[in-house]
Structure 1
Amino acid sequence: MSQPPPPPSPLRILRIHGDEISTLAFSNDNERLYSGDTSGRVVITSTRTMRPLAAWNAHTDGILGVQEWGNSVITHGRDNKLHVWKRVLAPSISVGDSAAVHEDTKPDLLYSMDVNALNYCRFSLWSLPSNDDEEPQALVALPNLVESSMADVWSLPARDRLHAAIGKKGGSTPAIDGRGEYGIIMSMHLFEYQHPATSTQRDLRLLLGYESGAVTLWSYTRDWHQKSIEGMGWESRWTAKLHVESGTSATAFTVSADHLVGRYDVEGAESSVEAGCKAYPIKQVGNAAVAIRDDGRICAIAGWDGRVRLFSTKSLKPLGTLSYHKGSCQTVHFARTRYSQGVQDEADDDDEIDDAEKRRRGQWLVSGGKDSRIAIWPLMSFTK
């Protein structure tokens, strides 16, 4: 019987931060790696040269999230600010060429928003379709400005609040401490749902993970272009409580301080909790973050023991363990597989990277920990 291959060693270790890594993200073309730490510092690293393109103090407190959006970069901090910066482009430099390290290079700030960061909950962005000659538009979900147990949805770049106090049931008054029935919101995922019976009916939906370990799927029942206040027009599809305390990701999986992984079928289960929500036990107690690869096949879970565990998203079957970080692993993020599969993107105009290199990049995973280091892992394809 053949033995599975040994787990890989990190392809590269980046020592570009002096504080704990709190968030990681690849650009859509895998050309840039964004990283943020607990001091408020953001670094943009070229994945060709593995050198910083920019590094600056984006916030006065820890970074909750970073994401590239069109020609912009969104940063979200615990200083109650969300900033939108002009994107920094990677120069045409091949691996091995000399390149200056752009320390303390600060991108141009385009605009900012005052937000509520009491929750330690990062934003969720849903890009709207637009033509090439149009300014990109998006919706961004954030915790409510006043009540941390509720959510708001804003439009960008207009910074107009379209939906306020999502989660307020029937005009009920929140708890005195602002924590609501399930506690404050710890994670969120904004998305559009297309009903399978028709190609025209689409709902705006928001998946919220709460402090108590509960997860609720909210759906907007009106035309989403219409504004709403006091949570009107939003209805709860279902609520599931699979954890004993708060989860830290609510895309389709949740992890917590316990040994359970919550799996949620956000599209298949319309109203029945039992039909689409299930808790899977794993050996590791104490997990900080979970990420799902964009092809939906693999998820990675960052553990308090510094290890990253890989699982099949369909069965939660273990696929391997990656071990490097000393102390807790705080965040994980997959590269974009669609870029490696020949989908046209801005970087495809540059012939310096061949298809084989694109495929290799599409199998990368990055992890960041309390040790202030970022590990880049070359994964196998995991396809039959």
Structure 2
Amino acid sequence: MSRPAPCPIYTLRGAGGPLNTLHFSCHGRDTPLLYSGSGKGGIHIWNLNTRRAEKIVEGHSGNSVIWVSTLQETDTLISQGRDMQVCLWDLSEGRSEMVDSVWTGSVGFCQCSTLETSPGNYLLAFAGQQTEEIKIIELSSKTPVCTLVPDAKLGMVMCIKLWQPDSGTGPLLLAGYEDGSLLLWDVTQRSKLSQAKAHPEPVMCLTFDTKRLRGISGSSEKKLSSWMLDRQNNLQLQDCVTMVNPGVSQLCIRGDGKLLASAGWDHRVRVFGWKKLRPLAVLQYHTDMVQSVAFSDHQDPKQRLLAAGSKDQRISLWSIYNEGADTG
């Protein structure tokens, strides 16, 4: 007999709008937290012990919040809204004060990406005012680092990921574009290292495993496209995963590199083994498009969760494959 479909261990309600983005902060904390950004401009900080919102931050003038994150080892929250602002918030000692902001000029839905280059120092990458440009700045000083613009017309920047290779060279950036292309950029040299056509449609989302130098991207079609970097930093297309229904909003790899989750336009979350892209589960709970998925960063594997945020204004939390499961 096949196992029954899993159910969420609990759900969070009261976000007051469609859920666009989720971010966990559980590692090293007494109180595990989940941050969510809604289509109505609210940032909810959920206490996962009480399963209630312990704080609501309103900072984007009612505009949709499309990305939230925290700066490691600090009480700084960073959020991005459709008001073209990236805001930094001081959450220490119960505060919720906006301490700085960056104007992006971008009207798209491309989420920002941050990278800690040294303790307390961060780079921030974001889609710029011009359709194809990516801007990178030093976060605290707002000093411009570079602007990356492809030679050919690739359309709007859709998704980006800043990362630091182990080789000791400078930061690299992966970007997905409207024409379905992926580009790998050398931030220090301000140059394109390689390019691959991963999809016939716009690249809606991508995620990248920096340890295995392997990534995966999704679009409005029924396929996920996986790819890797060789030793010369060339993007090499690999396997495709064919899904039942088209459209993926977001992809997320668990921190231990064992699981991949996808947020589907068909209201479902799909879980795959990351090593072989083997389908493991289809999670059905939501009544509208799933727009965000995130794995928790709990230190104890038994406590790890998967969260999904939907257009139906609910967040579902799931506990799956945490002990000794074959997740190949």
Whichever residue aligns with residue 193 of structure 2, its letter is R
Tell me, in whole angstroms, the C-alpha distance in 2 between the residues paired with 1:256 and 1:335: 24
Tell me, in whole angstroms, the C-alpha distance in 2 between the residues paired with 1:168 and 1:272: 16
SS at match of 1:203: coil
Among candidates 81, 86, 94, match of residue 85 of structure 2 = 81
Q: Which has the larger radius of gyration?
A: 1
Task: Say yes or no: does 1:203 pair with 2:163.
Answer: no
Task: Say yes or no: does 1:21 pair with 2:19.
Answer: yes
Task: Say yes or no: does 1:333 pair with 2:300.
Answer: no
Tell me, in whole angstroms, the C-alpha distance in 1 between the residues paired with 2:2 and 2:254: 21
Tell me, in whole angstroms, the C-alpha distance in 2 between the residues paired with 1:279 and 1:237: 23
> How many angstroms does 1:269 deviate by?
5.4
Q: Which has the higher strand share?
A: 2
Count, aligned residues: 312
For 1:1-384, what aligned pairs fall within 5 Å after superposition? 3=1, 5-29=3-27, 31-60=32-61, 61-69=63-71, 70-87=74-91, 107-130=96-119, 136-144=120-128, 146-164=129-147, 166-169=148-151, 181-195=153-167, 201-220=168-187, 224=188, 233-251=189-207, 252-266=215-229, 268=230, 270-274=232-236, 276-337=237-298, 339-340=299-300, 359-362=301-304, 364-381=305-322, 383-384=325-326
Aligned-pair identity (%)? 25
Is 21-30 or 185-194 further displaced after alignment?
Answer: 21-30
> How many angstroms does 1:168 deviate by?
4.1
C-alpha change, 1:12 and 1:21, in structure 2 (3 Å) is: same
Tell me, in whole angstroms, the C-alpha distance in 2 between the residues paired with 1:89 and 1:291: 31
Tell me, in whole angstroms, the C-alpha distance in 2 between the residues paired with 1:124 and 1:40: 20
> How many angstroms does 1:11 deviate by?
1.0
5+ residue gaps in structure 1?
Answer: 91-105, 131-135, 170-179, 196-200, 225-232, 341-358
Whichever residue aligns with residue 267 of structure 2, its letter is G
Moved over 6 A (4+): none
C-alpha change, 1:254 and 1:149, in structure 2 (3 Å) is: same
> How many angstroms does 1:326 deviate by?
0.2
The C-alpha deviation readout for 1:181-219, integer Å capped at 9, x for no partner, is: 111100000011123xxxxx3231000000111111112
- CA RMSD of superposed structures (Å): 1.9
Tell me, in whole angstroms, the C-alpha distance in 1 between the residues paired with 2:231 and 2:153: 23
The C-alpha deviation readout for 1:80-119, integer Å capped at 9, x for no partner, is: 00000012568xxxxxxxxxxxxxxx71111111113312
> How many angstroms does 1:308 deviate by?
0.4
5+ residue gaps in structure 2?
Answer: 208-214
Residues 38 and 64 of structure 2 are in contact (CA less than 8 Å); yes or no, is this contact kept in structure 1? yes
Residues 28 and 68 of structure 1 are in contact (CA less than 8 Å); yes or no, is this contact kept in structure 2? no
Residues 228 and 235 of structure 2 are in contact (CA less than 8 Å); yes or no, is this contact kept in structure 1? no
C-alpha change, 1:315 and 1:284, in structure 2 (3 Å) is: farther
Whichever residue aligns with residue 15 of structure 1, its letter is R
Residues 150 and 192 of structure 2 are in contact (CA less than 8 Å); yes or no, is this contact kept in structure 1? no
Partner of 1:176: none
Tell me, in whole angstroms, the C-alpha distance in 2 between the residues paired with 1:365 and 1:25: 11
Residues 240 and 277 of structure 1 are in contact (CA less than 8 Å); yes or no, is this contact kept in structure 2? no
